[in-house]
Structure 1
Amino acid sequence: MDSFGDPNQQEGSLTSADLEQSGEQGPVNGPVMLNESVCSMVLQILVPFLLAGLGTVMAGMLLDIVQHWIVFQKVTEIFILVPALLGLKGNLEMTLASRLSTAVNVGRMNSPREKWNMVIGNLALKQVQATVLGFLAALAASVLGWILDRKLTLNYAALLCCSSVVTAFTSSLFQGIIMVGVIIGSKRAGINPDNIATPIAASVGDLITLGLLAVISKVFFYSIDVSPYIVYVVCVLFLCLTPVWVIISFRHPESRRLLYGGWEPIITSMVISSLGGLILDRAMTDPKLMGAGIYTPVINGIGGNLVAIQSSRIATYLHFHCSLRELPEHAKGWYFPTRTFCGRGPNSRTSQVLLLLVIPGHVTFLYIIYLMQGGHTSPTAIFISLYLAAAFTQVFLLLCIGDWMVHCLWRCGRDPDSFSIPYLTALGDLLGTGLLALCFRLLGFFSDEDNQLGD
C-alpha cells in the first residue's frame, strides 16, 4: 500500500512502502486482520454481487437498445469504445476501492486529516486519469476503425474523442464520490469494504457510463452537421481542465506518486479492453453475432467483479502479513492453479466461494433477461450450456491469473492495489467478449446443423 503522507501518522501503522524506504523488514503492524466465517463472507459478497449483476443486466439491455440508434449505426467505432470506457470502473473505480479498502483495514483512515487528504488526492488523480484514458481510448478506436474500414471522417473522429472524454470525466467523478461514501459507510457499519466496495463500483459503473456515452454521442451527432465546431470546443475545454486536477493531486504524496508511476497499468489495460472492443465491433456488425450485445456487459462485468474482490482481499492479506518483495510461505515456489482453489493460503476458500457463485449468478441474470424479453437469442439448452461454459471458463482463468499476478507484483515491489485490478478487469473484458463471440459462433454452427438435419 502506498504511503499517504500524513505527518500525524500513528506509530505502528506503517505501510509496506514505508517499511521498504526505511530499510525495516516485517509486516504491517497496527490493527489485527479479522478472521471471517464462510457464512459472513458469503453474505457480505452476495448482496453486492447480485446488485452488480443487475447493473450489468441493465447495461446489457441498454446496449441492446442503443445499438440501433443512428449514431451507433453511422459511427460503428463507438462499439470499440464501449469495453474501454466500461473498463474505467476496473481501471479507476475498482482500483480506488481496493486502495481505500486496504487503507481502512490497516487503520490509515482513522484521523479526519488522513481521510480527507487521501480522498481529495485520489479523486483529483482519478479525474486526470479518466480524461487522459478517455482521450486515448477514442484515439485507439479511431485508428482501429480507420485501419479496418477507412471510412472514418475527421468530424466523426472528433465526435468519438469528445464523447469519450466527456463520458469518462463525468462518469469517473460521479462514481468516485459514490465509492468514497460506500467505503467510509462500510467502515462505520463494521463491514469489510474489500467484500462490498468493488461489487458496488461494478453495479453502477457500467450502466452510468454506457448511458452517458449513448446520450452524449447522440447529442453531438445531431449537432455536428449544424455546428461542428461545438464538438471541438467542448473536447478542448475538458482537456484544458486536466492541469487543474494535476495540481490538486500533486499536493498529496500518495496521489503524486501514482501521478508519476501509475500510468502503465491503466494505459495497458485500456489497450487490452480496446481489443475486446474490436471483437464487439465486429460482433455488432455481423448478423450472426448481433445477439451478443446484451450479454457482453453481463459476462464482462461479473468476471471483473469477482476477480477484483479476490485481488483486493489478497492485497490486503499481503499488506498485513508480509514486507514488500517478500511472499508468504504458501505462495513461494512455482505457481499451479491448484494453489488458487485448494492451497494452504487463507484466500483459497474465497476463490472457491467466488467460483461457486458463477453458475447460479449467471443463471439468475439470464432468467432476468428472459423475463424482460431482452436479446435476440432464444434461451435454448444449447445456448445456456455454451454461455455458462464460457462464463465459468472466464472466471476460472481470471482467478488463477489474479492469484499469480498479485503475488508477482508484490514480489516485484509494486502495490497490487494500484496495479492488479486494471490488468485483471481488462483481461476479463477481452476473455469475456472473445468467449462470448465464440459461444455465438458455436451456436450458429449447431443451428446450421439442425437446419440441415431438418431438411
Structure 2
Amino acid sequence: MPNESVCATVLQILVPFLLAGLGTVMAGMLLDVVQHWDVFQTVTEIFILVPALLGLKGNLEMTLASRLSTAMNTGRMNSPREKWNLIIGNLALKQVQATVLGFLAALAASALGWVLDEKLVMNYAALLCCSSVVTAFTASLLQGIIMVGVIIVSKRAGINPDNIATPMAASFGDLITLGLLAVISQGFLHCVEPSPCVVYVVCVLFLCLTPVWVIISFCHPESRRLLYCSWEPIITAMVISSLGGLILDRAMTDPNLMGVVLYTPVINGVGGNLVAIQSSHIATYLHFYCSLGELPEHAKGCYCPSHTFYGKGPTSRTAQVLLLLAIPGHLIFLYIIYLMQGGHTSPTATFITLYLVAAFTQVFLLLCIADWMVHCLWRYGRDPDSFAIPYLTALGDLLGTALLALCFYLLPVITDEDNHLGD
C-alpha cells in the first residue's frame, strides 16, 4: 500500500483535480451555448439525457480507472502479458457497457419526456437513441485509451494512480461527451426530416458491434466475470442520473433556474471527482489488508460519519484533504466562469455563499456515503472497484443538481429580504 504524506497526497491530487474542474467549467460553458441549438430546442428530452451520458465517466471511465489503479498497485499488472490481457478485456467490456447504457439512457429520457409532455415523436426518439449510442461508444473508446495511458505513465513516474487516475478520467470527459452529443445530434436532426431511415440504420449498426466486444471481453477471466455481474450498479446509476436530468429539464422552463445549466456540470463534476478518489483509496486499502468479505477492525460495528474524517484508517486523512479542497476548488472555478462572462447571474456574495454551501454539503455527504458504501460492498463480497463509483457519481449528479436548483430558488427570496431590510 503506497504510504504518502499529506503534502504528497495534496500535490498528486491537486493538478488533475484542477484540470478536471477546468474541464467541467468548459463543459458548463458549452452546455450554456448549445442549449440554444435547434436540436436542444426541438428534442427537449436531450436535457434529461445529458446527466446520464455525462455520468458515463463515473459509471465506466472512473470504474475502469479504479480497477486498473488497484491492479497496478497490487502488482497484478507487473507481467506484460497479464497487463495487456487485463487492459484489452476491460476496454472491450467498457464498450459493451457504453453501447448498452447509451441506448437505455435514451430510452429512459424518451419515456420520461413522454410521461411529462404526453407526446412521443418516434423519429425524435430514434434520433435520441442513435445520438446517445454513437456518443457513448465514441467517447468511451477515446477516454478509455487515454485512461490506460495515464495509469501506465503515472506508475512509471512513481505517482500513485489512485490519486490521479479517477480525476484525469473526468478531466475532459464531460467536455468530450457533451461536444460529441451536441454535434452528432445536430447532424442527425438535419437527416431525420428528409431521410429518417439514416438514424435507424446507424443505431442498428452500432448495436450490432456489441457481440464483437463481448467476444473480446471473454478473453480475460475478470472482464468475463464483470460481463455478468456489473450491470446492476451502472444501470441503477443511470436511472439516478436521469432523475438529475429531469430536474435539469424542468429548470429550462423556469426563468429563475436558467443559470442552473451553466453550473450543473461544475458542481456535479467536482463532487464526482473527489468522491471517486476516496472510493478508489478505500478499495485499494481493503485489497491490500483484507480478504473479500472481511472488514478491518476499525471499520467493524455501526457506521458513524465522524469515522470518515477522524477514523483510525489511513483513508481518513485523504477524506480530510478532499473535503478541504472542495471550497477553494469551487472558488477557482467560479472565478474562471466569471472571467469568461458566461453566467446568467452576477456572482454576488449571496450567490457565492449559497453555491459554496451547496457544494460543501454535496462533497461532505458523498464522502460519508462512500465510506459506508465501500465497506458494505466489501463486507457482502462485492468488489467496490466495480460497484461503488457508479452509485457515488450518480448520487453526486442528483445531489448536485438538486442543491444547485435549491440555490437558485433561494437566491431571489434572500435578495428580496435583504432589499426590504435595507429599505
Give TM-score scaled by structure 2 length. 0.99
> For residue 115 of structure 1, what is the amino acid of its counterpart?
K
Whole-Å separation in 1 of the counterparts to 2:388 and 2:182: 29
Q: Does 1:66 align with 2:34?
A: yes
Structure-1 separation of matches of 2:333 and 2:172: 16
CA distance in 2, matches of 1:316, 1:454: 55
Q: Distance in 2 between matches of 1:63 and 1:158?
A: 22
Q: CA deviation at 1:236?
A: 0.6
Distance in 1, matches of 2:158 and 2:143, equals 22
C-alpha distance in 1 between matches for 2:31 and 2:416: 27
In structure 2, distance between residues paired with 1:445 and 1:53: 29
Q: Which amino acid aligns with 2:311?
A: G
| CA distances 1:390-440 after superposition (whole Å, capped 9, x unpaired) | 000000000000000000000000000000000000000000000000010
Q: Give the equivalent residue in structure 1 for 2:96.
A: 128
Once the 2 structures are TM-superposed, how far is the Cα of residue 451 of structure 1 from its aligned partner?
6.2
Matched positions, count = 423
Q: In structure 1, what is the equivalent of residue 171 of structure 2?
A: 203
Q: Do 2:323 and 2:363's aligned partners in 1 also have CA atoms closer than 8 Å?
A: yes
Report the alpha carbon displacement of residue 151 of structure 1 after superposing the two structures with TM. 2.9
Tell me whether 1:439 sits opposite 2:388 in the alignment: no
User: Does the 8 Å contact 2:2/2:160 carry over to 1?
Assistant: no
Counterpart CA distance in 2 for 1:122 and 1:76 is 34
Q: Distance in 1 between matches of 2:255 and 2:33?
A: 16
Q: Which amino acid aligns with 1:394?
A: Q
The corresponding residue for 1:101 is 69
Residue 81 (structure 1) aligned with residue 49 (structure 2): yes
Equivalent of 2:240, from 258, 272, 278?
A: 272
Deviation digits for residues 76-126 of structure 1 (CA, Å, limit 9, x no counterpart): 100000100000000000000000000000001111100110011000000
Asked whether the 8 Å contact 2:85–2:219 carries over to 1, the reply is: no
Counterpart secondary structure, 1:294: helix
Distance 2:413 2:233 in 1: 38
**Two-structure CA RMSD over aligned residues (Å):** 1.1
Q: Deviations over 1:241-291 (max 9, x none)?
A: 101111111121111000011100000000000000000111122111011
Question: What is the distance in 1 between the residues matched to 2:216 and 2:2?
Answer: 35
Deviation readout 1:189-247 (Å, 9 max, x if unpaired): 11100000000011111000000000011000111111111011101110011011111
1:353 counterpart SS class: helix
State whether structure 2 residue 318 is matched by structure 1 residue 360: no
Shift of 1:325: 0.8
Bigger mean CA offset, 246-255 vs 162-171? 246-255
CA distance in 2, matches of 1:109, 1:65: 43
1:406 equivalent to 2:406? Answer no
Q: Secondary structure at the match of 1:295?
A: helix
Partner of 2:384: 416
Cα separation, 1, equivalents of 2:2 and 2:69 = 14
Q: Any runs of at least 4 consecutive aligned residues in structure 1 with deviations exceeding 2 A, and if so which? A: 446-455
Partners of 1:132 and 1:346 in 2: how far apart? Answer: 37
Task: Indicate which of 200, 214, 224 corresponds to 2:192.
Answer: 224
> What code does the residue aligned with 1:301 have?
G
TM-score scaled by length of structure 1:
0.92
Shift of 1:444: 2.5
For each residue in 1:132-185, what CA deviation from the matched residue of structure 2 results, as whole angstroms up to 9, or x when unmatched? 000000000000000001233111100110000000000000000000000011
2:214 alignment counterpart? 246
What code does the residue aligned with 2:389 have? I
Amino acid across the alignment from 2:103: F
* C-alpha separation in 2, matches of 1:311 and 1:414: 14
Instruction: Please name the residue that 1:30 is paired with.
Output: none
- The one-letter code of the counterpart of 1:79 is F
- Counterpart of 1:9 in structure 2 is none
In the alignment, structure 1 residue 340 sits paired with structure 2 residue 308 = yes
Q: 1:303 aligns with which of 235, 253, 271?
A: 271
Asked if residue 44 in structure 1 is aligned to residue 12 in structure 2, the reply is yes
1:141 matched to 2:130: no
Counterpart of 2:135 in 1: which secondary structure? helix
One-letter amino acid of the structure 2 residue matched with residue 105 of structure 1? N
Farther-moved stretch of structure 1 (220-229 vs 91-100):
220-229
Deviation of residue 447 (structure 1)? 3.5
Q: Which amino acid aligns with 1:405?
A: M
In structure 1, what is the equivalent of residue 133 of structure 2? 165
Q: 1:397 aligns with which of 347, 359, 365?
A: 365
What letter corresponds to residue 356 of structure 1 in structure 2?
L
Give unmatched runs, 5+ long, in structure 1: 1-32
Q: Counterparts of 2:29 and 2:257 in 1: how far apart (Å)? A: 16
Q: Distance in 2 between matches of 1:355 and 1:319?
A: 24
1:384 counterpart residue number: 352
The one-character-per-residue Cα deviations of 1:340-375 (angstroms, maximum 9, x if unpaired) are 011111111110000000110000000000000012
| CA-CA distance at 1:446 after TM superposition | 2.3
Q: Tell me, what secondary structure is at the counterpart of 2:343?
A: coil
Residue in structure 1 matched with residue 282 of structure 2 by the alignment:
314
Q: Look up the equivalent residue of 2:208 and give its one-letter code.
A: C
Return the letter of the residue paired with 2:348: T
Residue matched to 1:326: 294
After TM superposition, give the deviation of residue 454 of structure 1 in Å: 8.0
Tell me which of 211, 231, 241 is aligned to 1:263. Answer: 231
Report what 1:155 is aligned to: 123
**Structure 1 residue 194 corresponds to structure 2 residue 134:** no
Name the SS for the 2:301 alignment partner. coil
